[in-house]
Amino acid sequence: MNEQQQSLILESSSRFLPPQGVKLSYGTAGFRADASLLQSTVYRVGILAALRSLKTQSVIGVMITASHNKVSDNGVKIADPNGGMLSQHWEPFADALANAPSPQELIQLINEFVKKEGIQFDGVKHAEILLGRDTRPSGEALLEAAKEGVASIVGAVAMDLGILTTPQLHWMVWARNKGMKASEQDYVEQLSSSFRCLMDLIPSQRSKFDGTNDKLVVDGANGVGGLKLKVLEKLLNGLLIEVRNSSEDGGVLNEGVGADYVQKEKVAPHGFGSSDAGIRCASLDGDADRLVYFTVNPESSGAIDLVDGDKILSLFALFIREQLSILNEREGTKNNHQARLGIVQTAYANGASTNYLKQLGLEINLTPTGVKYLHEKAAEFDIGIYFEANGHGTILFSESFVGWLEATTNELSARSKGSDAEKAALRLLATSRLINQAVGDALSGVLLVEVILQHMGWSIHRWNELYHDLPSRQLKVKVADRTAVITTNAETVVVSPPGLQEAINNETGKYSQGRCFVRPSGTEDVVRVYAEASSQEAADSLANSVAKLVDQFLG
């Protein structure tokens, strides 16, 4: 860096000194902490984003959010050129940057990194950063800190896009780097037009919903998702949405509401009760990157029948498989393409969902826990579908397959317009444009669920009957050193300490439909235990027995 660049960083960073005794780490979700501790970190992430933009010569995104965390928390993360998460290669630099104790050490760290990465400050290359934030009260001040961080790099320009869902910001970065129009209005128009296209392609012989299923009621977690869904809903035909717990309704973000609360507690969110029994309901999380469905149980106060991310994945897989099957059966089309469809899960996916998908003849792939692993694996297929039980996931279409679909629809339109094969190809194309190609997106996800249910002629109850989850239990075991546990095979097998996996196997073998694995937490000194069995009592017993084994081997 030249003297002008160094003095710019020194001058601005002296106003953003890190809090004493706080060490932050850039994980899957970026940096998260109490909002009062984050100003220095967000400022430095602004610098990081500008450097990443210079390195990649692409538009980079910075999102101020703490997703499903409590309202007093906040966080910041980077969207890479493909709209996905920051390259893992840069995560250690992010950690070091956030924790550098003084402006002088910050300058030294940046100097060493830009030299190693070959980043040039030549005044010719420019950096462009898109900034977004959720509805948290702390977001505005933190976004200003990010702006200052970006401005401290010569040639870097920040564009403040205001209040957005996290997936909207990721989509805009992805679209900009593909040379597409990338405003919030462009996002809304792409989703609504793709939805309408899929609605128009619903087979006329499919039965319609009965009266109780005409409406979808959505819990917006008192966050940004409900706000944006109201904007989107105005452009939709054939779907009636009632939004509750939107950010302007006066409730507290993520408090007794939201996808994380509903999925973990298995109870109805605030504002839902017995009068909603039988109605199709959905819940978004605070920044609208997670989605779960549920119905309120009329027989028990607050109890629900949960339709989680595993079932969303199954619904999507059925629909995609049906369209591919129609395409594969057609005759006389040039360049016949047998698309490779891959399903990606982690070991936390309920065993009943994995068994169901296997029975459909689908290819199942397990990855370690974490969206970055799921997304990376899904990108290896022509069509890759991944979802976690918590409701975060998407469908990825390869560029080559989308190109083939476009050519195929043109050919079929010319030769056999209105054929089943042409409709199947058009459905797949519309799906690739409706579902977010950058990241899990509750808004695009809810629209795809809704149109597929109408395509199938299914109620939520019919959907929920695809399979029945095996009872499960998750526990945490406090340990002195979680790194003593080393796993392999997508975290399902313990290789260290020696003997622990054999002991787990012996214990698991005592239970009907038993399955159990342990893995070290990525954030705290605990080992996580997951167990399944044919009854809740058995799952609890297996989890407790294995927790004792962990304590015994690591004690």
Give the residue numbers of the binding site for Mg(2+): 67, 285, 287, 289
First and final C-alpha spacing in the chain: 50
DSSP per-residue letters across 86-145: PPGGGHHHHHHHHH--SHHHHHHHHHHHHHHHT----SSS-EEEEEEE-S-TTHHHHHHH
Give the type of residue at 158.
A
Burial class (CB in 10 A: 0-12, 13-18, 19+), 502: exposed
Contact 445, 388 (CB under 8 A): no
Burial class (CB in 10 A: 0-12, 13-18, 19+), 234: exposed
User: In whole angstroms, what is the distance from residue 251 CA to residue 247 CA?
Assistant: 7
Strand positions, DSSP E, 479-524 = 486-488, 493-496, 515-520
Point out the catalytic residue in the list 12, 40, 53, 67. Answer: 67
Give the type of residue at 273.
G
- Which residue in 325, 277, 331, 333 sits closest to 303, CA to CA? 277
Distances (CA, A) of 187 to 32, 76, 167, 329, 536: 27, 22, 10, 34, 43
Burial class (CB in 10 A: 0-12, 13-18, 19+), 498: exposed
Contact 76, 149 (CB under 8 A): no
In our burial notation (b when 16+ CB lie closer than 10 A, e otherwise), range 396-431 reads bbbeebbebbeebbebbeeeeeeeebbbbbbbbbbb
Compute how many other C-beta atoms are within 10 angstroms of the C-beta atom of residue 532: 23
Residue 207 appears among annotated catalytic residues: no
User: Can you give the length of the chain in residues?
Assistant: 555
Binding-site members are 67, 285, 287, 289, 388-390, 519-523, 528
Element (H, E) at 364: strand 363-367
| Sheet with 156-163: strands ordered across | 31-34, 73-79, 59-64, 127-133, 156-163
DSSP character at residue 79: E
Compute how many other C-beta atoms are within 10 angstroms of the C-beta atom of residue 552: 10
Residues catalogued as catalytic: 67
